Structure 1
Amino acid sequence: MSVRHQVRNYVEKLFENIKEKGLGEHTIYCIYSPVYVQRESLPANQIDVEEFEIIDTKVNLKDPESVKKFLDRTTREALENEVRGYYLLAMVLDRDGEYFFSSENPIIEELKDDIMDRIERLKEE
């Protein structure tokens, strides 16, 4: 299986875990962490979420074309970010200020509050 297919499968798996939480059009945040966070198994208190890349995208979960565009774009961004040294750590669905996380990485639990704070600041900008 090619790297592109592996990344697409990973993106789809993360998306599957949050798509049922949505009711229509929502913002989904893709959270990219520096690769060293994964490699070095750092404790959460040594991870600075300010170093994370966060990309927000509006997606209409009831529109298959909107979902396909989101998955295509996220796959492309995940591949591009890996080259830059960033890993797709999680997806976060924003449903009117209520956040639903999808990640295969257990470290995300300890970072959720910091990530939500960062998302709130981005929304204010």
Structure 2
Amino acid sequence: LALYGFFSLIMLCYTTLDLKASPDPCFCGKTPADALQNGCKFDPFTLTWVPDACRDDDLIDEFNALGALYNHSWQFYTWPTHDRLVTLDEVSMMAEVASTKHDNRSIVTTTIDWHHTHCLYLWRK
């Protein structure tokens, strides 16, 4: 009888507890279109789309304001040719392919000034 009670308790816990892995709370989809449809915004620190709860808008605003001071340049370029400036909005639309993978997809790069400042602000985040 005790053994039956023990197994009944185990089965009750197993069936009522959700033991499945919870979804990533910052996941917005696989494409910018998915992200927009899910109400996400582009995060320039992680170069990904995230929901509001995963963004630090005050820090992003501070970083963007710093870009206008002291002749900083927050610009992106096509890589490897650097022949065309790319806006942050364009980068956001390429978010699922803006990586270090070298294939037939578009890749962007930025200035060393942006990179160093980005690293410091990402650390603060």
TM-score, structure 1 normalization: 0.29
TM-score, structure 2 normalization: 0.29
- In terms of fraction of residues, the more helix-rich structure is 1
- In terms of fraction of residues, the more strand-rich structure is 1
Identify the structure with bigger relative contact order (alpha carbons < 8 Å, sequence gap 6+).
Answer: 1
